[in-house]
Amino acid sequence: MPILGFIGARIGVALFTMFVVSLIVFIAMHLLPGGFEQIILGPIQTQATRDAITNEFGLDAPIAEQFVKWAIAVLHGDFGVSMITRTPVAAELVRRAPATLQLAAMSIFTTLVVGLPLGIASGIGDTRRSVRVGARLLGALGASTPDFVLGTILVYVFSVWALGLTVGGYAPFLENPIANLRAMALPTLTLSVPGIALVLRTTRESVLNVMTSGHITTAVSRGESPSQIVRRHILRNASLPILTVTTMYLGALMGGSVIVETLFTIPGIGLYTWNALNNRDYQVTESAVLIFSILLVAVNMCVDIAYALLDPRIQGRRS
Amino acid sequence: MPSSRIRLVGAAFFALVAALIGPGPLARASDAITWGKQGEVLSYDPQHSGDGTSWDLFFLVYEQLLSTDDNFHLTPGLAERWEQISPTSYRFHLAQDAAFSSGRALTADDVVGSFKRLSDPKTGGVWGKQLGKIAAIVAEDDHTVRFDLEEPNSAFLNVLASAPTSILPIKELNDGSFDPKKALLGSGPFMVAEHVQDQYWKLARNPHYWRKNRPIADEFVIKILPNDSTRIAALRDGLVDVATFDNADISRLLRSEPKIKVIKQNTTNFYRLDVSAREEGSPFADKRVRQAMHYALDREAIANIVLGGEAKVEYPIPSGLGLDVCRKDPFYAEPRAERLVKARALLKDAGKEGVEVGVIGSSALAAYPLIAQVIQSSLNEAGFKAKVEEIPAADWYKRVFVAHPRFDLAVSWYAGYTDPAMVLYWWTPEGSKGWADGYTLPDDALTAAIQKVRSLPNGPERLAAMDTACGLIDEDSNVIALVGKPDYIAYRDDLVKVRFGANEGYFRTFKYAEEFSRQN
């Protein structure tokens, strides 16, 4: 049962990674200049009032003690309360998750639906100059335009001209699907463009590599149709690098959601985390980052397992 | 793929696109007024909160004893009338029908309890100190309250119009059923119906509000939209009816929108420059260097370049108060060319020509880094080597408002309120204790002058004391007034009937919110 041992090892590494990430985030948050009491009370306030706030939330205790308390609470499923709203962080994360998950799902979907076919088409049609140049241009532009730049441009353009899509008009999908889609279209585009470029370029290179393999020539000589060759030979053999970049993109998506949700005022976990970071709302930031790291580690673990299933040689090498 | 399936997919695609770009505003409550607000409320307790972002919400939910009109004259609030019965005693007659949104009648005990909490150093913080020393607060009957001060405070009545003097439900606070740090419960025109952090506040009409037939709107929705462009888009799309801005360019940005009206609300608030005068090693520990820097400042350039010419040069006593004081100081009155000559001479005398100084322009406000850039240019003309430090707000707080600061110059701002003694109080050791005493030097003569401004009744003697205080503040060059800080309000003229004060001193942007209604 080598696969079970492989999965066990992966889970062990994942748990250790999450512990290290939470420790680093906890320390980093408390090393940041400015404290919660300064942010919420503003600069004009007495020391006694500030001390009362730090004492109320135990922020005057040593960092190690605060970390142990927080970690024990998290292990019991208690993510604490937001120091600003005094509401449970877990409930707030659950309430905000749909917006972030929807944004991620729409972005992944758009990325794969656009990036994969374009990559395959440009790989197969490499002899045509227009396809080659077009794909390279799209790939280069998408990869070199940071999401915050593209997002800022889109926010500006759509705030100056009424082009049908809304900026800042988020409504939950189940309450008002049209309003929801109008508000989510631009954030999705902002997050998808770098992903499309990444997937397009990787798919194109992978397809080009596979196309020069001997078994493709054999398949052609066997008389298989072009669509059969693409599905059975090219895509299957090009899938590992595509899977790798898609995973990388998922990681970037989590960071990107913080920026994009803030830019477009999408009330998801990203915006919650960003505001909490600026307000030094430690409980929220630490819990949200832990959730992000759990998701990222889980995705990586799943991809590792998928690798092992797709290519049994990897099981032996990695375990 | 069969052609029928292609047609089906195509039809679905076009239906989705049509839905996305189709016209029509999004659903909203029938008579709700929606405000696009720049930032979320940070703390719920009005007696502790120090940010205007929170205060403008408190004014919708809580009430204060007094208010002010557009000319900063005192007007009734919860107190329908009041009288000064001696130089140190005041009596207030509360509205008979006033009640909290819970339905419980608001009585004199709530007023007494609120002010006792505010003036207690353990529970009230810095804002209670603005009241002065209180000898007694007495409930003479259910609707009459008397305040006895230990010494005269000419600004006392004006302080009673500020957000930190909001009247809290003391009975509920004492029995533990209400915690002002977690909830808002006031007697104002609106009450909180729903709050989703960072997203919106839904305020409903307070059914027990004592002013008849007010508020007109059943709902006042506040959408948190921190990005200027997002608020502009929301205004244009009709997602919000009113939006507030700090950005002086807003009139230009919305010029092409005929349905949107933009107004500038003059305030007594002003940008200021904090100077590190206490720390050893700071070039500004030397008074000559501080004065050289002050002479070199070009306030007109800040007003024109950063604020599009819409802000005025400001003085320690804000020009918006309409008092003819503080104008004659050489730091203002002399032509800039002469001031530059003086600045270079002072710098040379101090042996600090070419001294390197940092100007902190934090990202807390968009204008800060821009003002810092203009200051950099002005100082370099006088022989400084200034550099701009654009840092996050939290970093700015940590470097400036601490016992041992690490900065040279930092751009900030003061609220000017409606009486000179209120803003001047921050220049006294008592007023700056615990937040600005790390970088400000005590000046006994200045403290005495400010005390005179605080204790004297309005008149020529008080005006003279103000001039003296301004002169000493400018000579010390430790906390320097720069230019005014107006607010901008944009609203959909076709959708709502609204009114805003031409001048405001307390961040009470929505002073007339209870009169707001929809056009239809």
Q: Which of B181, B233, B434 sits opposite A167 (nearest CB)?
A: B233
Are A49 and B48 a contacting pair at CB < 8 A?
Answer: yes
CA distance to partner chain B, nearest, from residue A297 (Å): 28
Are A46 and B394 a contacting pair at CB < 8 A?
Answer: no
pLDDT at residue B21, rounded to an integer: 43
CA B225/CA B336 separation, integer angstroms: 41
| Identity of the amino acid at B10 | G
Structural contact between residues B242 and B36, judged by C-beta atoms closer than 8 angstroms: yes
Structural contact between residues B110 and B50, judged by C-beta atoms closer than 8 angstroms: no
Are A169 and B225 a contacting pair at CB < 8 A?
Answer: no
Q: Which of B26, B51, B396 sits opposite A169 (nearest CB)?
A: B26
By the 10 Å C-beta count (0-12 exposed, 13-18 middle, 19+ buried), B98 is classed as: buried
pLDDT at residue B47, rounded to an integer: 92
CB–CB contacts below 8 A, A to B:
158
Window 220-239 of B, Cβ < 8 Å to A = 223-227, 229-234, 236-237, 239
Are B197 and A82 a contacting pair at CB < 8 A?
Answer: yes
CA distance to partner chain A, nearest, from residue B405 (Å): 13
Task: Using alpha carbons, list the distances in angstroms from residue B445 to A186, B286, B461, B471.
Answer: 60, 19, 16, 11
Q: Which of A87, A92, A155 sits opposite B227 (nearest CB)?
A: A155
Joined tokens for residue B287 = 């008074």
CA B504 to chain centre: 9
Q: Which of A40, A47, A155 sits opposite B230 (nearest CB)?
A: A155
pLDDT at residue A87, rounded to an integer: 85
User: Which segments of chain B have a pLDDT < 50?
Assistant: 1-3, 6, 9-10, 13-27
Instruction: Give kind and range of the element (H or E) at residue B233.
Output: helix B228-237
pLDDT at residue B89, rounded to an integer: 97
By the 10 Å C-beta count (0-12 exposed, 13-18 middle, 19+ buried), A249 is classed as: buried
Alpha helices for B269-406 (secondary structure H): 287-296, 299-301, 330-333, 336-349, 367-381, 393-400
Structural contact between residues B26 and B34, judged by C-beta atoms closer than 8 angstroms: no
Joined tokens for residue B449 = 């002058």
pLDDT at residue B56, rounded to an integer: 92
CA B441/CA B199 separation, integer angstroms: 43
Phi-psi region of B138 (alpha: psi -120 to 50; beta: other; left: phi over 0): beta
CA A164/CA B20 separation, integer angstroms: 7
List CB contacts (< 8 A) between B440 and chain A: none
Window 148-207 of B, Cβ < 8 Å to A = 181-182, 195-199
CA B222/CA B34 separation, integer angstroms: 6
pLDDT at residue B27, rounded to an integer: 41
pLDDT at residue B22, rounded to an integer: 40
pLDDT at residue B23, rounded to an integer: 36
If you write DSSP's letter for every residue of B422-438 in order, what string do you get?
HHHGGGSHHHHTTTTTT
Q: Which of B20, B26, B435 sits opposite A176 (nearest CB)?
A: B26
Structural contact between residues B368 and B485, judged by C-beta atoms closer than 8 angstroms: no
Alpha helices for chain A (secondary structure H): 2-31, 36-41, 47-56, 63-75, 89-124, 129-144, 147-160, 177-211, 214-222, 226-228, 236-264, 269-278, 282-310, 312-318
Are B48 and A45 a contacting pair at CB < 8 A?
Answer: yes
Instruction: Give kind and range of the element (H or E) at residue B503.
Output: strand B503-504
Q: What is the DSSP letter of B37?
A: E
Are A167 and B435 a contacting pair at CB < 8 A?
Answer: no
List CB contacts (< 8 A) between B181 and chain A: 86
CA B50/CA A50 separation, integer angstroms: 12
- Walking along chain A (319 residues) 10 residues at a time, the average pLDDT comes out as 75 85 86 81 81 86 90 88 87 91 93 88 72 77 85 83 76 87 92 90 85 82 82 79 82 86 90 89 89 84 76 59
| Identity of the amino acid at A316 | G
Q: Which of A43, A164, A278 sits opposite B435 (nearest CB)?
A: A43
Q: Which of B42, B435, B436 sits opposite A40 (nearest CB)?
A: B42
CA distance to partner chain A, nearest, from residue B261 (Å): 16
Strand boundaries in B99-235, DSSP class E = 134-141, 144-149, 190-196, 200-205, 219-224
pLDDT at residue A315, rounded to an integer: 58
Q: Which of A43, A92, A275 sits opposite B40 (nearest CB)?
A: A275
pLDDT at residue B26, rounded to an integer: 38
Are A44 and B50 a contacting pair at CB < 8 A?
Answer: yes
List CB contacts (< 8 A) between B258 and chain A: none
Q: Is B401 on the interface with A (CB under 8 A)?
A: yes
CA A255/CA A100 separation, integer angstroms: 11
Q: Is B135 on the interface with A (CB under 8 A)?
A: no
Are B16 and A181 a contacting pair at CB < 8 A?
Answer: yes
Mutation pick from A89, A167, A275 vs chain B, by most beta carbons of B within 10 Å, is A167
Are A168 and B223 a contacting pair at CB < 8 A?
Answer: yes
Structural contact between residues A80 and A89, judged by C-beta atoms closer than 8 angstroms: yes
CA distance to partner chain A, nearest, from residue B229 (Å): 6
| Sequence-separated (6 or more) residues with CB below 8 Å from residue B456 | B152, B154, B462, B465
Q: Is B426 on the interface with A (CB under 8 A)?
A: yes
Chain B residue nearest residue A264, CA to CA:
B230
Are A167 and B230 a contacting pair at CB < 8 A?
Answer: yes
- Measured on CA atoms in the order A95, A98, A99, A101, is the torsion positive or negative? positive
CA distance to partner chain B, nearest, from residue A255 (Å): 19
Q: Is B51 on the interface with A (CB under 8 A)?
A: yes
Are A155 and B196 a contacting pair at CB < 8 A?
Answer: no
CA A208/CA A200 separation, integer angstroms: 12
Q: Is B395 on the interface with A (CB under 8 A)?
A: yes
Report residue B85: phi and psi, to 5°.
Answer: -95, -10
Residue A227's CB is within 10 A of a number of other CB atoms, namely 8
Chain B residue nearest residue A184, CA to CA:
B20
Are B394 and A39 a contacting pair at CB < 8 A?
Answer: yes
> Is residue A271 classed as helix, strand or coil in its secondary structure?
helix
CA A276/CA A189 separation, integer angstroms: 26
pLDDT at residue A108, rounded to an integer: 92
Q: Is B517 on the interface with A (CB under 8 A)?
A: no
Kindly report the pTM of this predicted structure: 0.82
pLDDT at residue A126, rounded to an integer: 55
Report residue A32: phi and psi, to 5°.
Answer: -60, 140
CA B418/CA B404 separation, integer angstroms: 32
Give the CA radius of gyration of chain A.
24
Are B227 and A265 a contacting pair at CB < 8 A?
Answer: yes
CA distance to partner chain B, nearest, from residue A289 (Å): 18
Q: Is B121 on the interface with A (CB under 8 A)?
A: yes
Determine the length of chain A: 319
Mutation pick from A29, A32, A45 vs chain B, by most beta carbons of B within 10 Å, is A45
pLDDT at residue B344, rounded to an integer: 97
Q: Which of A40, A45, A265 sits opposite B435 (nearest CB)?
A: A45
Strands B385-389 and B487-492, by their bridges, are: unpaired
CA A40/CA A54 separation, integer angstroms: 11
Q: Which of A33, A40, A179 sits opposite B43 (nearest CB)?
A: A40
